[in-house]
Structure 1
Amino acid sequence: MRFAIPADHPCLPGHFPGRPVVPGVVLLERVVEAIEAVHGPLEGLRLPQVKFLQPLLPGQPARVELDGEAPRWRFRVLREDTVLASGEVVASRETP
């Protein structure tokens, strides 16, 4: 699933004023949307042991890659980049 958080998203003015970054909770919302797009609505979905490795800035294109099965999904949020064909990891849950 590809996405970009627009610069006018309501979470950005407070995170951080003058130099906004996309909050982790917004990234995780996109991960949940990607999981539910494949598996349907899931009540009580948990995503433990997430690592946030790089900031994602407003407007930067990104994508969610999923792997694994419930309840131990693995995922990566990748910043799309024209230089790095595979993208740069922004957040992940790699532990099975």
Structure 2
Amino acid sequence: MNDSDPVPFVCPLRFDAAHPSFAGHFPSRPIVAGVLLLEAAALALRRWRGVTVRQVVDAKFLAPLLPDEVAELELVAMGEARFRFTVRRGTDTLLRGTMEGA
């Protein structure tokens, strides 16, 4: 597989309601913190390609992911070291963006 291979890497995402971040994000209506979703994308990229994220070029949060909801993370190579990430829950896109690896 080369760096511009269009075959995506897909993995499930789920954050247990007992995760400690939910206590402060937000106590009356917990949602998965954006940083956890970005970290999941970075870890998936390392698992898929052995690449460390150098920077998140852009990220657009479109809808929240709630505790215990199942979502899907998809990574697609867009060139030498650029990767597109998308988080979906069913047909709803929750997050999309671009990362650069080193």
Separation (CA, whole Å) in 1 of partners of 2:43 and 2:80: 15
Q: CA RMSD in A?
A: 1.8
Stretches of structure 2 that go unaligned for 5 or more consecutive residues are 1-10
Which of 82, 90, 93 does residue 94 from structure 2 map onto? 90
**Percent of aligned pairs sharing the same letter:** 37
What's 1:65 paired with?
A: 74
The residue correspondences of 1:31-70 to structure 2 (distance < 5 A) are 31-42=41-52, 45-68=54-77, 69-70=79-80
What's 1:9 paired with?
A: 19
**Residue identity matched to 2:17:** A
Is 2:32 the counterpart of 1:22?
Answer: yes
Structure with the largest fraction of strand: 2
Q: How many residues are paired up? A: 88
1:47 deviates by 1.3
List per-residue Cα deviations over 1:58-91 (Å, max 9, x = no partner): 0000111111234321110111x3xxxxx21110
Give TM-score, length-normalised by structure 2. 0.78
1:41 deviates by 4.6
Stretches of structure 1 that go unaligned for 5 or more consecutive residues are 82-86
What's 1:84 paired with?
A: none
Separation (CA, whole Å) in 1 of partners of 2:80 and 2:45: 10
List 4+ stretches of structure 1 deviating above 3 A.
Answer: none
Secondary structure in structure 1 of the residue aligned to 2:67: coil
